[in-house]
Structure 1
Amino acid sequence: MDLAYLRAHPHQVPMFIEHQRIRCTPVPGGSVGVAQRLTLDDGGDVFAKFVEDGPKGLLHAEAEGLRWLAAADGPPVPELIAVADEVLVLDWVPTGEPSAKAAEEFGAALARLHQAGAEGFGAPWQGFIGRLPQDNGPGDDWPSWFAARRIEPYLKTSRDSGALSTQDAALVGAIAGRIADLAGPAEPPARIHGDLWPGNVHWAADGRAWLIDPAAHGGHRETDLAQLGLWGGAPHLDRILAAYDEAHPLADGWRERAPLHRLHLLLVHTALFGASFRDEVVSAAARLR
């Protein structure tokens, strides 16, 4: 099993692993499926993500997003080597340490990615975020599209499961009804990563910050920037944001709008993991009242 054979026969990777024909090393990155470092017969390493029981099309959607992000002059993304229903294989990117220089370069590159734009809000492929479906259907304007396709589905799931109370859901629902008033100046669709919490920025040994695990689509650029501030924030976040703003200036008030853009990912977490994320959802919504 060398790289050329793997590209041509990705569906055979699980069989080669089962029969111990490929050396496998477990690695972090298995929140959806199982992540492995595979060492091939030619000595090269690749990253493989296996999802045997996931929803149909999940890995193909990630592959589409990686291709789309790679087509822009933005932050680097791992090369897509192969994809099949149960396995996604990417180039292996050795881990490094965050640096201020890499952060500034990442901020400028993220600005270029967003400026590459999209044909509209959403994407031509069915989306996923984690294991949850994510509706990438089109919309005429960002506020109504964001409410209908990024807030309301995960709010309903969170309410129905009991992760959010009726009162919590009413608070968030009221915010969803006011997005047009809260969104700031209208902007064209940006080419965004879509799930850009700090864990999806891979600080590599080559001195760059890479994008991984996208839920890519045409959206609002402030969504990516707001998500970078979640859960402690990305390393050197101030440098990232300053370099971004210098390359692609942000509209006034973008920091105050960050809770709106974070609501989507926070609701995804209550939908997936339950009430442990309830306080963060309610706090973000309360800041927007």
Structure 2
Amino acid sequence: MRRPLGADLVTALWKSLPSAVVPGTVDAEPLSGGAVNDVWRLSQADGTTYVLKGSLDAPPDLFPLEAAGLRALHERAGIRTPRVFEVSAHHLLMETLRPRPDTDAFWEAAGRSFATLHTVRGEHFGWDTDGWLGLLPQENGPTADGHEFFAERRLRRYLREPKARRALSPADLAGLERICERLPQLVPAAPSVLNHGDLWRGNLVADAAGEPVFIDPAVCWLWAESDLSMIYCCDPPPDRFFHAYEEISPLADGWRDRMPLLHLREHLSVLAHFGAYGDTVARVRDVVRTFS
């Protein structure tokens, strides 16, 4: 579990950075962060601000891999991601962004940007390195078979975690195994495309012009529908988002019906991190009843 960055620790971390902006820092304001790290807005006397995302206990490759994922999204698909000024084993220093405006125009622009991401095709499923999803490694070993990849790297991968196994019954595990075996009948074959990997509302913010900016990726090459399932199943945006998405990248018939199945990855990740958290086990059982 992370060690929170109190004011003394964030000061120590900040002073350790090699950046030329260090001497001018006059204030550090905590922002909402995630399960792995803390996030602060750092202000200078001249009004310049930066976002510092840091952890003294993070795996040494976590922030470098996040920076590489942000760069991949921007360079390969042209979508807007935060500018990274510095990266180390303990921190990311990035530009300051704004909360998303939650307007129709914003969600339409976000839908089109997300669809543009999914027009970038991969040669295989996976990625050239493993990554991180929360506190646990995201296994990205490449394969030519999307169904095999999703079963092994996105479902069975979490069934090996002790907390997930303790939360699920033998009947649950058997049902999940049946789903893994039946994936080719449940999910139509589709190409591998560039995935953000963790896109929910909280990972969409805005720039000064109000345009969408994508943060906190867990990139890989996988199906477009698997990427879409996260934002569809976690407090979904208005339908304008999905309509705008389909202007760029039309979806296969029945895609909405498959969203709960593909969202199993997120439910199993939650169980692997936190055990029987909230209604997660009940949600897994609903999916098993429907699809196994």
Q: TM-score range by the shorter chain?
A: 0.7 to 0.9
User: For structure 1, which runs of at least 5 residues remain unmatched after alignment?
Assistant: 1-10
Paired residue for 1:155?
A: 159
CA contact (8 A) 1:259 1:287 kept: no
Q: Is the 8 A contact 1:198 1:229 kept in 2?
A: no
**Secondary structure of the corresponding residue to residue 63 of structure 1:** helix
Alignment correspondent of 1:206: 209
Give the whole-Å Cα distance in 2 for the aligned partners of 1:197 and 1:267.
Answer: 16
1:223 maps to: 226
Q: Secondary structure at the match of 2:94?
A: strand
Q: Which letter maps to 1:255?
A: R
Per-residue CA deviations over 1:231-250 (Å, capped at 9, x if unaligned) read 3223x2x1111111121111
Query: CA distance change for structure 1 residues 252 and 51 in 2, over 3 Å: closer, same or farther?
Result: same
Q: Which whole-Å CA distance do the structure 1 matches of 2:271 and 2:211 have between them?
A: 32
Mind listing any 5+ residue stretches in structure 2 that lack a counterpart?
Answer: 1-11
CA separation of 1:286 and 1:75: change in aligned 2, threshold 3 A: farther
Confirm or deny: 8 A CA contact 1:97 1:205 kept in the other structure. Answer: no
Moved more, 105-114 or 225-234: 225-234
Which residue pairs with 1:26 in the alignment?
30
Mapping for residues 63-74 of structure 1, pairs under 5 Å: 63-74=67-78
Q: Is this contact kept in 2: 1:159–1:169, CA < 8 A?
A: no
Deviations 1:236-286 (A, max 9, x none): 2x1111111121111111111112210111110111111122112222232
Structure 1-normalised TM-score? 0.88
Alignment check: 8 A CA contact 2:163 2:275 kept:
no
Query: Is 1:134 aligned to residue 134 of structure 2?
Result: no
**Aligned-partner residue type, residue 123 of structure 2:** E
1:205 deviates by 5.2
Preserved CA contact (<8 Å) 1:74 1:111: no
Most deviating of 168-177 and 20-29: 20-29
> 2:52 & 2:151 partners in 1: Cα distance?
34
**2:125/2:143 contact within 8 Å kept:** yes
SS at match of 2:118: helix
Of residues 251, 275, 281 in structure 1, which corresponds to 2:284? 281
How far does the alpha carbon of each residue in 1:190-234 deviate from its partner, in whole angstroms, 9 at most, with x for none?
111011122222255532222111101111100121111223223
Q: Equivalent residue for 1:58?
A: 62
- Can you list the C-alpha shifts for 1:128-183, whole angstroms capped at 9, x where unaligned? 10010011110111000111111101122156651212221111121111111111
Structure 1 partner of 2:257 = 256
1:3 paired residue number: none
Q: 2:23, 2:48 → 1: CA distance? A: 19
Partner of 1:275, secondary structure, is coil
2:5 — aligned with what? none
Offset of 1:21 from its aligned partner? 5.0
Q: Does the 8 Å contact 2:233/2:259 carry over to 1?
A: no
Distance 1:246 1:18 in 2: 45
- Normalization by structure 2: what TM-score? 0.87
Percent sequence identity over aligned pairs:
34
How many residue pairs get aligned? The number is 276
For the aligned residue pairs, the C-alpha RMSD in angstroms reads 2.3
Asked if structure 1 preserves the Cα contact closer than 8 Å seen for 2:100 and 2:204, the reply is no
**Residue 168 (1) aligns with residue 178 (2):** no
3-state SS of paired residue (2:291): coil
Q: Give 1:257's aligned amino acid.
A: R
Match of 1:272 in 2: 273
Q: 1:170 to 1:205 in 2, by over 3 A?
A: farther
Partner Cα distance (2:196, 2:162) in 1: 23
Residues 191 and 218 in structure 1, CA contact (< 8 A), matched pair in contact too: yes
Whether contact under 8 Å (1:113, 1:191) holds in the other structure is: yes
CA distance in 1, matches of 2:202, 2:288: 23
Q: Which moved more, 1:71-80 or 1:47-56?
A: 71-80
